[in-house]
């Protein structure tokens, strides 16, 4: 069975996207990325501090940039998004173009 290049997990915060994403990636032999964890790693701040220090607008810009970077990786992957990621910019369109 052929799988799409990227598989995106979307849903409410705390709904299990990261937990299930890790298991799915392992079963499919793909890398797993948690969008929020990647944002924190690249920013050097935890998300609550990003919101508190520079606000939601900056966070959403950062979220969009990191998402697009993960999409552009030339490897199959499972990506767990943050709860709001599909709702901002053209994120959902980009996810639909890159996989399912």
In a domain, 10, yes or no: yes
Tens-digit pLDDT profile for residues 7-58: 999 999 889 999 999 999 999 999 999 999 999 999 999 999 999 999 999 9
Tens-digit pLDDT profile for residues 86-99: 889 999 999 999 98
In a domain, 83, yes or no: no
Judged by DSSP in three states, 57 sits in helix
Q: What mean pLDDT do residues 48-74 have?
A: 96
Contact 31, 58 (CB under 8 A): no
In a domain, 48, yes or no: yes
In a domain, 85, yes or no: no
In a domain, 84, yes or no: no
Q: What is the CATH number of the domain that holds 23?
A: 3.40.50.300
Q: How many domains does the chain have?
A: 1
What is the DSSP secondary structure assignment for residue 36, as one 8-state letter? H
Instruction: Give the domain extent around 60.
Output: 6-77+90-98
Which parts of 1-100 are beta strand (E)? Answer: 6-9, 31-34, 77-80
Judged by DSSP in three states, 6 sits in strand
User: CA-CA distance, 85 to 91, in Å (whole number)?
Assistant: 7
pLDDT confidence bin for 62, thresholds 50/70/90 = very high
pLDDT confidence bin for 82, thresholds 50/70/90 = confident
Assess whether pLDDT exceeds 60 at residue 2. no
Q: Which residues pair with 32 in a beta bridge?
A: 78
């Amino acid at each position: 069975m052929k799988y799409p290049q990227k598989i995106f997990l979307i849903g409410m915060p705390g709904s299990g996207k990261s937990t299930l994403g890790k298991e799915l990636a392992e079963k499919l032999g793909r890398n797993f990325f948690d969008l929020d964890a990647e944002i924190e790693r690249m920013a050097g701040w935890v998300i609550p501090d990003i919101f508190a220090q520079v606000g939601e607008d900056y966070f959403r810009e950062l979220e969009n940039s990191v998402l697009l970077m993960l999409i552009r990786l030339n490897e199959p992957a499972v990506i767990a998004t943050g709860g709001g990621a599909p709702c901002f910019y053209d994120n959902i369109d980009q996810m639909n173009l890159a996989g399912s």
